[in-house]
Structure 1
Amino acid sequence: MGYYDIDDVLTDNAEIPCKFLHDIPGLGYLENNPGGSIHVNSQLKLPLWLARVLAIVEVAPEVDPITGIASEENTPFITLMTPEAFSIKVINAIKTDPVALDIHSINPQFYALAIKWIGLFGDRDLAEIVSELLLKRAQVINSHANSITISYKNDSINHNSKSMNNQTVFTLTLDEFEKKIFKQANESYKDIKKWMFQS
């Protein structure tokens, strides 16, 4: 992942639900209230790149001009709430049947978002769930990637139409990281089978 990685850019643009901890003048346009303020406890979805910064940067407490005492401790602008991709409903679906799950419909950059989220909060439970999910799905990805037939006559690759339809439906459920794994595994199997029939 890097500055020019499109998947990283798309992951950083994933919308994260946030709760504002302060009144902020001039940002009312985020709530379709141009010129107004965002008020304490307002909940909005912000892109991860912005939400991450606002959750880290702290606002200094107001100091009473008469007593000189601060009203409260430093607090960030917002607090991050759990995105839909890691909700209890999704986690339960992952635990129930990780292979049949349509990860792409949950989030096309599911694993990349999980890595960023785990890094932000050090969420070991989520890390274990996502690791187990990838392990179980990788076995099925590998199986689909290996479903290629080779013609003995001209050493060309022939795809069974039913197999191709199954692969197409299956790949639509993969997130972008899984698609890369599938493509690399598929190309490796093709190369191995070509080499075997040349011998």
Structure 2
Amino acid sequence: MASYYSVDAILTDAQKVPCAFELDLPGLGFIDGNIKKGTQVNLPLWLGGYLAVQKFGEPILTTDLPPSLAPRVLNALKANPRTVDLRALASHFYELSARVLDLFDEDEIVDVLTMSFKARAAEIADHATHTQGALVEASGFLRGLDEMERQLFRAAHDSSRAVKAWLGESTKKKA
């Protein structure tokens, strides 16, 4: 669970998810003053999730998977996860997916996301360990990474650079 003050958590919870009202709600509509049962709206994840998970009585609305987890996206991730531009789908793709999957019991989606993260992480590590010249070349690669993957890239790149510096220092001491 992310911190309450985490900017990434706030941005993730602000992502819109498709919702459908399950009740008539008189007096809560914007234009005509009423929300009818079956009305489709896009609400922020925090609000949609809260209204969909009611502990008492029937839920006010139901949520659906966001477009970033649509079947066409999942099929593309199954085919070749390295080619999917996750940032274009959602800047915090994996965090959004984890939050949405708290509301749904979708084992297949969890499997696809796990497989794609592993494949993408291997490529991220490969790009992160190259020299500075390759880093500039990898900038096109960086454009398609979501925020978690960018943090992983930075950590791997900084670690690789620190190990190279340490190895350089240890060889100087031996010589």
Scaled by the length of structure 1, what TM-score is found? 0.80
Larger helix percent: 2
Alignment of 1:34-73 (within 5 A): 36-57=33-54
For structure 1, the 5+ residue unaligned runs are 60-73, 149-158
Contact 2:65/2:100 (8 A) holds in 1: no
Contact 1:22/1:77 (8 A) holds in 2: yes
CA distance in 2, matches of 1:136, 1:94: 10
Alignment of 1:105-124 (within 5 A): 105-124=88-107
Contact 1:20/1:40 (8 A) holds in 2: yes
The partner residue of 1:196 within 159, 167, 173 is 167
The partner residue of 2:73 within 69, 78, 90 is 90
CA distance in 1, matches of 2:105, 2:99: 10
For residues 158-190 of structure 1, what are the alpha-carbon distances to aligned partners after superposition, in whole Å with 9 as ceiling and x for unaligned? x22xx2432211111000100110000000000
Contact 1:58/1:77 (8 A) holds in 2: no
Alignment identity in percent? 31
Alignment of 1:1-199 (within 5 A): 1-29=2-30, 33=31, 36-57=33-54, 74-148=57-131, 159-160=132-133, 163-198=134-169, 199=171
Q: C-alpha displacement at 1:124, in angstroms?
A: 1.4
Q: C-alpha displacement at 1:36, in angstroms?
A: 1.3
Q: C-alpha displacement at 1:130, in angstroms?
A: 0.7
CA distance in 1, matches of 2:63, 2:7: 24
CA distance in 1, matches of 2:55, 2:38: 16
Contact 2:23/2:36 (8 A) holds in 1: yes
- State the 4+ residue runs in structure 1 displaced beyond 3 angstroms: none
CA distance in 2, matches of 1:39, 1:86: 27
What number of residue pairs does the alignment pair up?
Answer: 169
Contact 1:16/1:81 (8 A) holds in 2: yes
RMSD: 1.4
Scaled by the length of structure 2, what TM-score is found? 0.91
Q: Which amino acid aligns with 1:25?
A: P
Secondary structure of the 2:83 match is: coil
Secondary structure of the 2:20 match is: strand
Larger Rg over CA atoms: 1
Contact 1:11/1:112 (8 A) holds in 2: yes
